[in-house]
Amino acid sequence: MKYFDPRSILLARHAQHIVLVHFPIALLISSVVFDIWARWSGRTQQALVGKLDLYAAAVSSPIAAATGLLAWRWQLEGARLKGALLLHLCGALLVTVLCCALAWYRANRRDRDDATLPAGYFAVAILAVMIVAFTAHLGGIVSGVVTPGN
């Protein structure tokens, strides 16, 4: 692997997934942090940032999932779906559905004041953050970055 060769960086078979996974993870966490801040302070600017972060998470999570399927086919050569890989796939699909559902809810909300989101919204959003964290942890196991004992 040449460190500064654009071809080997961009066209590595599994590189796209490894790069793109950071977007839904960071955007979803950031969305919930800004929404909690908005609820706590009553400020609408923070709520707007939370909403836009959520929309970006909803757009980027299916893209990350699609590149994950490609990494599975190319990098793991379609290995049997079991153990950490199967759990990673299930967590990824659940996160994608939750991000899109939360974004749909925000876009269609009657009450336009995003600083007054109901407690149920936060419960689902925090659940989604926990699932994305667990999915990312499993991804590390699948890619071999996380091994027993570290």
Question: By C-alpha distance, which of 61, 131, 43 is closest to 103?
Answer: 61
Question: By C-alpha distance, which of 135, 132, 139 is closest to 30?
Answer: 132
- Packing angle between helix 83-107 and helix 22-41, nearest 10 degrees? 40
Tell me the closest approach of the beta carbon of residue 51 to ligand HEM, in angstroms. 19
Question: By C-alpha distance, which of 94, 79, 75 is closest to 132?
Answer: 94
Of residues 54 and 115, the one with the C-beta less far from ligand HEM: 54
Residues 18-77 contacting ligand HEM, CB under 6 A? 18, 21, 24-25, 61, 64-65, 68-69, 71-72, 75-76
Q: Where are the alpha helices (DSSP H) in the chain?
A: 6-10, 15-20, 22-41, 44-74, 83-107, 119-143
Whole-number Å distance between alpha carbons of 110 and 120: 16
First to last CA, the chain: 25
When asked if residue 88 is in the footprint of ligand HEM (CB under 6 A), the reply is: yes
Task: Give me the residue label for tokens 């407690």.
Answer: 119
Tell me the closest approach of the beta carbon of residue 107 to ligand HEM, in angstroms. 20
Of residues 46 and 75, the one with the C-beta less far from ligand HEM: 75
Of residues 101 and 145, the one with the C-beta less far from ligand HEM: 145
Whole-number Å distance between alpha carbons of 42 and 76: 48
Tell me the closest approach of the beta carbon of residue 44 to ligand HEM, in angstroms. 29
Give the interface segment with ligand HEM, choosing from 34-42, 43-51, 114-122, 128-136 (CB under 6 A): 128-136
Residues 94-113 contacting ligand HEM, CB under 6 A? 95-96
Q: Which residues bind ligand HEM (CB under 6 A)?
A: 14, 17-18, 21, 24-25, 61, 64-65, 68-69, 71-72, 75-76, 88-89, 92, 95-96, 132, 135-136, 139-140, 142-143, 145
